[in-house]
Amino acid sequence: MVTYQPSARTRVTRLPKRAVYDAAQVHAILDEGFLCHIGFTVDEQPYVIPTGYVRASEKLYIHGSAASRMLRTLDQGIQVCVTVTLVDGFVLARSSFHHSVNYRSVVVLGTARLVLDREEKIDALRRFTNHIVPDRWDEARQPTDPELKATSVLVLPMEEVSAKVRTGPPIDDEEDYDIPIWAGVVPIHMRAGEPIPDDRLSPAADGFDIKRLTRFS
């Protein structure tokens, strides 16, 4: 079993029994998600920005416009915090104090670098596209040189990593278990809806098979 060695910054100290350092579990969380939040500080002003990401082995790739202040800032070698959270259920307890959420989350700390190698950049963009819809990259038009120039890709090594997971029913105070109120877990699932064709869809275009979005099935 491959595990991440927690650093002083990534060791879970609040409810450490929920900590996960197993690489396979961390990878599974990251691969199921598709949206991360990136925290960083500029001139003592903190920012948290949502963006897409993709994992490739022990690297996280993020991308966006080359004009993006966030990407231009992160390329300067500042410390960054990337978080991904999946919500699995609402935990309804007998007391308001013990209500909770079942979740899986990952935190990655470090410094990101700009991807300058053309092949690595294209490979990362391919991974981004296929992370959302499998095999979509080969169906769509490939990016032109101007489009590649207008897009920045950053890579963050997964060196300081930890995950935190809550599962199971509510945990009430012993004296509250006899209170006649419903308690338990309401599962939360993300589902894809019926595809809506673009108004200018070519008559020659095939339909979209929703079953390809296996993450949302």
Question: What would the pLDDT profile of 99-149 be if each residue is shown by its tens digit?
Answer: 999 999 999 999 999 999 999 999 999 999 999 999 999 999 999 999 999
The helix/strand/coil state of 141 is coil
* Domains of the chain (ranges, CATH numbers): 16-192 (2.30.110.10)
CA 54, 57, 59: angle at the middle one, nearest 5?
A: 60
The helix/strand/coil state of 138 is helix
Note the helical H segments in 42-117.
Answer: 69-74
**Which pLDDT tens digit goes with each residue over 11-44?**
888 878 888 889 999 999 999 999 999 999 888 8
- Residue 168 CB contacts under 8 Å (≥ 6 apart), including other chains: 102, 185
Pairwise CA distance, residues 177 & 171, whole Å? 9
Q: Cβ(88)–Cβ(94) under 8 Å?
A: no
For residue 6, the model assigns a pLDDT of 84
The helix/strand/coil state of 77 is coil
The residue with tokens 């108004």 is: 199
Closest among 72, 13, 78 to 44, alpha carbons compared: 78
Tokens of 106: 């990952």
Pairwise CA distance, residues 154 & 36, whole Å? 14
pLDDT at 1 over 70: no
Confidence of residue 55 (pLDDT cuts 50, 70, 90): very high
For residue 177, the model assigns a pLDDT of 96
Q: Cβ(85)–Cβ(158) under 8 Å?
A: no
The helix/strand/coil state of 25 is helix
